[in-house]
Amino acid sequence: MTAQQEETTADTTALAERAMRGLTLEQKVGQLFVADVSGKSADEVHPANQARYGVGTPAEVVKRYHVGGVIYFNNPQIDNVDNPQQVARLSNGLQRAALGTAPHIPLIISVDQEGGRVTRIADQATEYPSMMAIGAGRRTADAEQLSAINGRELRAMGIAQNFAPSADVNSNPVNPIIGSRSFSADPALASEMVAASVDGYQRGGRATETVSTSAKHFPGHGDTKDDSHHGLPVIERTEAQWRAIDLPPFQAAIKAGADSVMTAHISVPSLDPSGDPATLSKPIMSGLLRGELGYRGVVVTDSLQMKGVRDMYPDAEIPVRALEAGVDQMLMPPNLQVAMRGVLDAVASGRLTEDRINESVIRILKLKLKRGILAKPLVDERAVSRKVGTQANRAAVQQITDRTVTLLRDDKKSLPLKGSPSVLVTGWDRPEYPGYPAAPVPALAKALGSKATALPTGTAPNADQIAKAVAAAGSADVVVVLTSGLPASASQRNLLQALLNTGKPVVAVGVQEPYDPGAVTAAPTWLVTYDWRAVTMTSLAKVLRGEIAPQGKLPVNVPVAGEPTKILYPFGHGLSW
């Protein structure tokens, strides 16, 4: 650290300590928590708030519990997102609630806006491809530019913390939770992309135009076959393997100055033989992250509603153990009152000291100072349409996405499509629900033009749906079949095989994880896109029509399904014309 950086850090620490003066212990404890509140406006009475918090509106939750932050979701239970203008109004309403109530400290408002399948704000905002797609494009400048655009749009909506990028190295093809959320299975490529992404988010403009990043999920969630939402995964890597594979992207994020690091609800016996989830592990959080890596920023838990952290201890005990481990910010406790009371009781008993609470509060306040939240917590709602989802932003991201589509195989030289063929687009299509744009099958058909027909078959086609797709193929010149999760979906494999049996030219496309081609090796043409959003389907259509050549290179190895050591398409593979 340079002398100037040390001086700046000392000044920020002094300002944070000043902001903390006069806070009661209860108010300090409130600053440690990031709550999920239900409703699309600060004053909306929502039954979920009444059931969980004993008050009706999001603003009342902020006032009663003095929380340090709020996180937005677009699911039906929490339902915070309609469009960018509405999100900005919600943000301002929540900030006014925080400012109007002691301790008068603004919130840090956060979201998971990774791109690809983890996108919370889609309607009227710029869409982003997945991080693995960016890894396939191989350009760190693209990762930086995309993150800068995403950060500016989020900040215009009043969001100052994005829980991204994923620093996980997705080395396990059957990983059910990370997959295309990771840049790569290669530690070096992942590290380069993570560092570039952190730079884009945090240095993409003035403090009030940038967002805090959170490199996740430390110490690395890439080698699991289990989902930490539903249980506690155990990572069997040796310490040497962990240091070689999982550690480098987190080192890169820390070197790049990531404002926060998010924990993983995983057990890594080689790093801590106790069996505790990493979130609650002092050897991992304090010993490795704080001690060996020298990390001084905010450490935030993954959601405390996940079973991976709730299986071993009661809800009142979890935040206490997290603080003992070295964590600062606690995300989405299932019962906020119980969680806060657990911490307060631990201080009263002497198990935790108030000085320990102060350490975390100061780190959180320094983050708020760094991002200009204390100085300027409100956003200009009238400016949202000029900053979010703009033509320039969409064009820039489309150009980036155009470089990501990866052609793995084209034995019969079916691509690009010749002439002006009639095209049946069929196969996997995600369920529709509020906040998401058109699903991939109709989005691709629309992008291909008037001679393309959409016939979605859902996530698990039955015999009748397969028969309809086969019949529709009879009147098409070319069939494009979208797949997702093919190794685990016999019904999707049956659909693809039935269409191959028609004798029509079939183009198979894995539209989420790139491992689908290992499940049906008989398909003569395979592409992968790493996500299914409309921006990616537009790029896919350009490749199919021959407007652009496929440029993506695999950022992972693709094995034969069920045979992880039998590599069908190696890291770096990608055809073009």
Tell me whether residue 313 is exposed, middle or buried, using C-beta atoms within 10 angstroms of its C-beta: 0 to 12, 13 to 18, 19 or more.
Answer: middle
DSSP code per residue over 259-271: SEEEE---B-TTT
Q: What digits encode the pLDDT tens for the residues 7-24?
A: 456 788 899 999 899 899
pLDDT for 432 beyond 70 = no
CATH code at 417?
3.40.50.1700
For residues 215 and 107, membership in a common domain is answered with yes
Q: What digits encode the pLDDT tens for the residues 147-158?
A: 999 999 999 999
Helices 354-370 and 336-349, axial angle in degrees (round to 10): 130
For residues 416 and 381, membership in a common domain is answered with no
Q: Per the domain annotation, does 576 fall within a domain?
A: no
Question: CB count, 10 Å around CB of 6?
Answer: 10
For residues 421 and 322, membership in a common domain is answered with no
pLDDT reported for residue 12: 85
Q: How many domains does the structure of the chain reveal?
A: 2
For residues 317 and 456, membership in a common domain is answered with no
- Higher per-residue confidence, 169 vs 208: 169
For residues 176 and 245, membership in a common domain is answered with yes
The domain boundary residue, chosen from 352, 386, 420: 386
For residues 376 and 470, membership in a common domain is answered with no
Angle at CA of residue 515, ends 557 and 569, nearest 5°? 40
- Where would I find the H helices in 203-335? 239-245, 247-255, 282, 307-310, 318-325
Q: Which domain holds residue 346?
A: 31-386
For residues 263 and 190, membership in a common domain is answered with yes
For residues 494 and 369, membership in a common domain is answered with no
Question: CB count, 10 Å around CB of 527?
Answer: 26
pLDDT for 575 beyond 60 = yes
Structure token pair of residue 446: 């629309």
Q: How many angstroms from the chain centroid is the CA of residue 438?
A: 20
Residues with a catalytic annotation lie at 229, 302
For residues 69 and 215, membership in a common domain is answered with yes
Q: What residue ranges in 383-472 does DSSP mark as E strands?
A: 406-410, 423-427, 452-456
Q: Per the domain annotation, does 26 fall within a domain?
A: no
For residues 153 and 177, membership in a common domain is answered with yes
Instruction: Indicate the pTM of the whole model.
Output: 0.96
DSSP code per residue over 60-124: HHHHHH--SEEE---STTT---S-HHHHHHHHHHHHHHHHTSTT--PPEEEE---BTTB-S--TT
Q: Per the domain annotation, does 20 fall within a domain?
A: no
Percent of the chain with pLDDT over 70: 97
Rounded Cα–Cα distance for residues 289 and 282 (Å): 10
CATH code at 188?
3.20.20.300
Q: What digits encode the pLDDT tens for the residues 119-153?
A: 999 989 999 999 999 999 999 999 999 999 999 99
Q: Share the mean pLDDT of the chain.
A: 95
Quick one: which H or E segment has residue 481?
Answer: strand 478-483
Q: Per the domain annotation, does 12 fall within a domain?
A: no
pLDDT reported for residue 344: 98
Q: Per the domain annotation, does 18 fall within a domain?
A: no
Rounded Cα–Cα distance for residues 405 and 327 (Å): 39
State mean pLDDT over 173-177: 94
The domain boundary residue, chosen from 354, 386, 418: 386
State mean pLDDT over 361-381: 96
For residues 173 and 142, membership in a common domain is answered with yes
Distances in Å between the Cα of 492 and the Cα atoms of 181, 362, 406, 502, 559 are 23, 52, 21, 16, 18
Ranges 8-12, 449-453, 514-518: which has the least confidence:
8-12
Q: Which of 317, 316, 354, 310 is nearest to 336 (CA)?
A: 316
pLDDT for 6 beyond 60 = no
Q: Which of 77-81, 229-233, 408-412 has the highest mean pLDDT?
A: 408-412
The domain boundary residue, chosen from 359, 386, 413: 386
Provide the pLDDT confidence category of residue 5 given band limits of 50, 70 and 90.
very low
CA distance between the termini of the chain: 48
Rounded Cα–Cα distance for residues 435 and 532 (Å): 15
Q: Per the domain annotation, does 112 fall within a domain?
A: yes
pLDDT reported for residue 356: 98
Percent of the chain with pLDDT over 90: 93
Distances in Å between the Cα of 249 and the Cα atoms of 110, 475, 507 are 22, 50, 35
pLDDT reported for residue 205: 82
pLDDT reported for residue 152: 97
Provide the pLDDT confidence category of residue 430 given band limits of 50, 70 and 90.
confident
Provide the pLDDT confidence category of residue 437 given band limits of 50, 70 and 90.
low
pLDDT for 2 beyond 80 = no
Q: Per the domain annotation, does 124 fall within a domain?
A: yes
Q: Per the domain annotation, does 13 fall within a domain?
A: no
Ranges 64-68, 79-83, 207-211, 431-435: which has the least confidence:
431-435
For residues 163 and 44, membership in a common domain is answered with yes
